[in-house]
Amino acid sequence: MDSVLLRIGWRNLWRNPRRTAITALAIAVGMIMLAFVLSLMAGMKRDLINQGTQLMLGQVQIHKRDYRPDRSIFDTVPLDGRALADQLLDRDDIFGAAPRVSAFGLVSSGDKSLGAEIVGMDRDAESQVTTLGRKLEAGDLPGRGERTIAVGRSLANTLGVSPGSELILLTQAADGSLGNDLYTVSGIFRTGLEMVDGGMVVLDLGVAQELLALEAGRIHEIALRSTSPARAMEVAAAIEQSLGVEDISVAPWQELAPQLAGWVAMSDSWMWIMYLIVFVLAAISVLNTMLMAVFERLREFGVMAAVGMQPRTIITMVLAEVISLALVSLLVATILGAPLVHWITNSGIDLSATTDGISMSGTVVDPVIRGAWAPAEFAVAAGLLVVCAALAGLYPATRAARTDPARLTRGEIR
């Protein structure tokens, strides 16, 4: 686009400064609201993924291929699980690796009994992958070699136990015998998920292996935390290829938690719906403004056409005015919207007065909803705004350019 036409378009934009200011402000308000929603959705998406994967799931899990969904006690990873976890820590895309064993059994205290999942984990390794250790209301998770047990808050309330109480575990062992033992409660955790708080107990990895008659290298799963949750599928595929073991399954969180992945995908869909709403409104505003501007300048366009100006030059001049309007709107939106986005990313919206947390798809989201800076999404929105504005301005510009100069000088348009 010729620089002379750009300057003319810029001057024409301010022939009616009040109309230009109102239109620019209306588009800017739409972009500010879009930036606010994009920030809020980006923050919720981040929190959904982080909370959903860092509580217990991990971002990638390694199992024997047939382990899920039945989770048989006999289906352990066909390699030395502890050694494999240590080996994976050498990868640049892995932040933490936590080997685990699990089984289902009976938890008893006095005359009360409850079915629960028994999870054996290494406390230090687990702290690099999940946040379970930060959910403790009292005490601590079992340390290495400690014959203690941590239980969820709901389970503790049902059985009437507290740190220092004793619990009996009864389960099937891998050698066909009955595994049972007495443990002292070391801690009580509360995650906000009833299936965890009311149906899971935690032992030290080595102690759990002893209960289940599993050798030190026999592991049911290895939970991994990658350096980028968004790249979990790529990381899982790379690990599976590098291991080259046919009977091993390496699954990303999208496969392990399809409902969570569905929520994330739905948030992306809502983003495009917001784009559509804002850009339709922006296009209508631009179309209205440019139609009025073109009709006011029909005689001017007629004189230009009469002295030899090409139709495409008239179209370009009008489009330069439209693009200038869009850029002014973006500048206003950036100046006024940045403080709003800064507030939502730092302070957030506090819903703690009405809820302790929002639970969805096995995930508990913090009641303080914070946004996240989304420069890439806003850049896409800015580019789409300019395109939509240009398309909206193309109609009045084309009508003026296609009309006979004599009719234009009489104030008529085809």
Q: How many residues does the chain have?
A: 414
pLDDT, position 223: 95
| pLDDT surpasses 60 at 361 | no
pLDDT, position 363: 66
Question: Exposed/middle/buried for 51, CB within 10 Å: 0-12, 13-18, 19+?
Answer: buried
The token pair that represents 118 in the structure block: 């028994």
| pLDDT surpasses 70 at 55 | yes
| pLDDT surpasses 70 at 357 | no
pLDDT, position 157: 94
β pairing state of 221-226 and 60-64 = antiparallel
The span from the CA of 120 to the CA of 170, in Å, is 14
- Tell me the pLDDT band of 99, cut-offs 50, 70 and 90: very high
For residue 136, count other CB atoms closer than 10 A to its CB: 17
3-state secondary structure the chain: CCHHHHHHHHHHHCCCHHHHHHHHHHHHHHHHHHHHHHHHHHHHHHHHHHHHHHHHHCCEEEEECCCCCCCCCCCCCCCCHHHHHHHHCCCCCEEEEEEEEEEEEEEEECCEEEEEEEEEECHHHHHCCCCHHHHEEEECCCCCCCCEEEEEHHHHHHHCCCCCCEEEEEEECCCCCEEEEEEEEEEEECCCCHHHHCCEEEEEHHHHHHHCCCCCCCCCEEEEEECCHHHHHHHHHHHHHHHCCCCEEEEEHHHHCHHHHHHHHHHHHHHHHHHHHHHHHHHHHHHHHHHHHHHHCHHHHHHHHHCCCCHHHHHHHHHHHHHHHHHHHHHHHHHHHHHHHHHHHHCCEECCCCCCCEEECCEEECCEECCCCCHHHHHHHHHHHHHHHHHHHHHHHHHHHHCCHHHHHCCCCC
Residue 325: name the closest of 3, 32, 21, 34 by CA.
21
| pLDDT surpasses 70 at 256 | yes
* Residues in Cβ contact with 16 at an 8 Å cutoff, skipping those fewer than 6 apart: 293, 296
| Segment of 8-22, 129-143, 264-278, 354-368 carrying the highest mean pLDDT | 129-143
Rounded average pLDDT over 98-120: 93
Residue 98: name the closest of 202, 246, 17 by CA.
202
| pLDDT surpasses 60 at 1 | no
Q: Is the peptide bond before 142 cis (omega within 30 degrees of 0)?
A: no
Segment among 235-244, 257-266, 289-298, 387-396 with least mean pLDDT: 289-298
Q: What is the pLDDT of residues 206-218, one digit of tens each?
A: 999 999 999 999 9
* Residues in Cβ contact with 157 at an 8 Å cutoff, skipping those fewer than 6 apart: none
Task: Give the bridge partners for 99, in sequence order.
Answer: 222
* Residues in Cβ contact with 297 at an 8 Å cutoff, skipping those fewer than 6 apart: 12
pLDDT, position 236: 93
- Tell me the pLDDT band of 382, cut-offs 50, 70 and 90: confident
pLDDT, position 378: 85
Average pLDDT of the residues of the chain: 85
| pLDDT surpasses 80 at 100 | yes
pLDDT, position 246: 85
pLDDT, position 372: 86
pLDDT, position 2: 62
- Tell me the pLDDT band of 38, cut-offs 50, 70 and 90: confident
Crossing angle of helices 258-296 and 375-402, in 10° steps, is 30
For residue 154, count other CB atoms closer than 10 A to its CB: 19
pLDDT, position 356: 60
- Dihedrals φ, ψ of 265, to 5°? -65, -40
Answer for the pair 208, 171: CB distance below 8 angstroms, yes or no.
no
What is the end-to-end Cα distance of the chain in Å, rounded? 26
Rounded average pLDDT over 80-86: 92
pLDDT, position 200: 94
pLDDT, position 122: 95
- Tell me the pLDDT band of 228, cut-offs 50, 70 and 90: confident
